[in-house]
Amino acid sequence: MKTKNKLQISIEKLAEFGAHLGHQSRRWNPKIKEYLYGEQEGVHIFDLIKTKDLLKDAFLFISEAVSEGKSILLVCTKKQLAEKTKEIAEKCGVYYVNQRWLGGTLTNFDQIKKSLGKMKDLKEKLESGLLKDYTKKERLLLQRELERLERFLGGLQGIENRPDILFIVDTKREKTALSEAAKTGVSTIAIVDSNSDPSLVDYPIPMNDDSIEAISYVFDLLSEVVLLAKSGKKLEIE
């Protein structure tokens, strides 16, 4: 029998971190209307009660998926969140992309696996000294190639199959990732701002996608959900 464990999603913290602030009202997507509370000084304001409810739906879905052994890929390429994305992904053991989405990551997954194999092979050769007979220039070029591969693919090390779930921050910025997920049947969860279309996402989370603090808070909650699921505990959210 699973042990119960409660997760608290705080509307007060979401508000404190600016999760309720959308874009200027003239830059909105009408499909986001049902998740808005209103408008203030020309800026759309999210209804954080609905945001909390949708966060709950997304986290329960993630908890169940992780319990079933399914994999998650966290996609957030905002510079200010690169380290936080890596930190949270490594903390709870999910894959991540924090630099740039490489076209074909899902739709041409076999090529991604080849590049990951190349990265692993190159790293082993450089670390073991098997390239000692190469010239200094050749070793330097190979080192740079490894650094490039690790920068863009480092968060995918160990992945054997397409991820089951993409957790995306900023659907406009990551429109290629969202499109590839739709084409390959990968489930999507995404933080969706007021200028974006929530209907493109399986589990939309309507809130400010530019607030570093708000997104970091959601990431911390995500980590807690994944770790609880991996430890066999039943998730309860309040």
Q: What is the mean pLDDT of the chain?
A: 94
C-alpha angle 169/229/59, rounded to 5°?
35
pLDDT, position 183? 98
Encode pLDDT of 214-225 as tens digits. Answer: 999 999 999 999
Whether 233 shows a pLDDT value over 90: the answer reads no
Encode pLDDT of 179-188 as tens digits. Answer: 999 999 999 9
pLDDT, position 4? 57
Cα–Cα distances (Å) from 155 to 134, 165, 236, in that order, read 29, 15, 29
Residue 101 backbone phi and psi in degrees, to 5? -75, 125
Confidence of residue 135 (pLDDT cuts 50, 70, 90): confident
How many CB atoms sit inside 10 A of residue 21's CB? Answer: 19
Q: Indicate if the alpha-carbon torsion angle 134, 137, 139, 145 is positive or negative.
A: negative
Domains of the chain, start order: 4-106+162-237 (3.40.50.10490), 109-155 (1.10.287)
Encode pLDDT of 70-100 as tens digits. Answer: 999 999 999 999 999 999 999 999 999 999 9
Question: pTM to 2 decimals?
Answer: 0.93
Q: What percent of the chain has pLDDT over 90?
A: 83
In sequence order, what DSSP letters do the residues of 192-210 get, joined into one string? E-TTS-GGGSSEEEES-SS
